[in-house]
Structure 1
């Protein structure tokens, strides 16, 4: 099921994305075009420690899947992550090979929720930016395995996406936002369509705390509501 992505100028198309939210929308459409469900862009520094959210640059995973991933400590023990740190070629995987009794019986016992969410098979592409930051652009779903041509298309797209996100981040750093990291996180997830309740699950915060961060960000940006705060942050390239 090829999307014929080589029929247009990928670099020019992705070059028009000005914020991480633009990239989010682009990846969401791309994922749907290939009959897949999920995407993720991760930073993979040498010292891989912490949670999924510590390394996620952008993703559309359900909050409960992120919680399960972190509960299982997969960022540190997943064979996919391990392969990404040592390979330069795409890592194609099936959930049965990730949540396997070969690693632990606990992993093998929690496969059903991933199947139910359609998180069955996928591919992660090792990428890096001009500052030598290693990363991964991944796609997952429950369709039949990707064809060779599709893997080539997604590989090229992933290289451009990671480079674009790196440039967006670099330019955003030039004009530092007057917001805390938590305020930016809450705005970013709000821009992605998440409710305060969903954001609280993703960030492991109370819903009250999430609302506090959003109210604070709204005031700092002299916005009338969180929607305008999101819009201002997107225009500035902060989210």
Structure 2
């Protein structure tokens, strides 16, 4: 490793404030051969509020357009990072369903880049992206710089995480009735409302009443989502 990398990594590891740490990360990323660096993190909290940080040196016009066009709702890179910690290169095929977004990025000089995420047990999900205007990113370059990018993303993620109360990151506890839990358990096994009614010796309308109750309490839209939420929260 070159001396400048050792020096910058050491300096970054000592940073205890997110904005100064981001500035150090930006300098490191530029020395790695990239023009742009973006770090964002969002945490769902109890209630309706969210804790969000979005730091980048993207063109101001791009940030404005991204927000005004609500590109976050259709961004395939963002969707990937929400689901996986595997790094993803910005390639045209990733944007096959959103060609306007792909062209808009290129128009702003965000031609070549990659993104990666960090997920933690408290529900925090962060995303680090590096990008440049010229020169495609080769597999070798990605491999060579991946360790540095992982260090940056985990350090920035950690700085934000330590400033948030763990209790505010955990979803609100959902209190289900015994019947609602029973119905969700059988639903998870693939039983229909009619089958569950026979097993529990209830009417089908009563089973559907309990299903609707669980859906309402979890704040989801259907039975499958309620079952998934119940499994994730350890209720079933």
Name the TM-score, length of structure 1 as normaliser.
0.54
- CA displacement at 1:106 relative to structure 2: 4.2
| Candidates 97, 108, 124, aligned match of 1:103 | 97
RMSD over equivalenced CA pairs, Å: 3.2
Corresponding residue for residue 14 of structure 2: 16
Q: Equivalent residues in 2 for 1:34-183 (5 A)? A: 34-45=32-43, 55-94=52-91, 96-97=92-93, 100=95, 102-104=96-98, 106-107=100-101, 111=103, 114-129=105-120, 131-142=122-133, 143-145=135-137, 147=141, 148-167=143-162, 169-170=163-164
| 1:119-158 CA-partner distances (Å, limit 9, x unpaired) | 0121111113574411111111123305111123212322
Which is higher, the Rg of structure 1 or of structure 2?
Answer: 2
Q: Distance in 1 between matches of 2:66 and 2:153?
A: 23
Structure 2, unaligned runs of 5 or more: 46-50, 166-236
- List gaps (5 residues or longer) in structure 1: 48-53, 172-239
Question: Distance between the aligned counterparts of 1:166 and 1:115, measured in 2?
Answer: 33
Once the two structures are TM-superposed, the CA of residue 117 in structure 1 deviates from its matched residue by: 3.3
Any conservation in 1 of the 2:36–2:131 contact (CA below 8 Å)?
yes
Checking the alignment, whether the CA contact within 8 Å between 1:84 and 1:136 is kept in structure 2 is: yes
Counterparts in 2 of 1:149 and 1:105: CA distance versus 1, 3 Å: closer
Residues 151-184 of structure 1: per-residue CA shift (max 9 Å, x gap) = 23212322122212333x349xxxxxxxxxxxxx
| Greater RCO (Cα-Cα under 8 Å, separation 6 or more) | 1
TM-score (ref. length: structure 2): 0.55
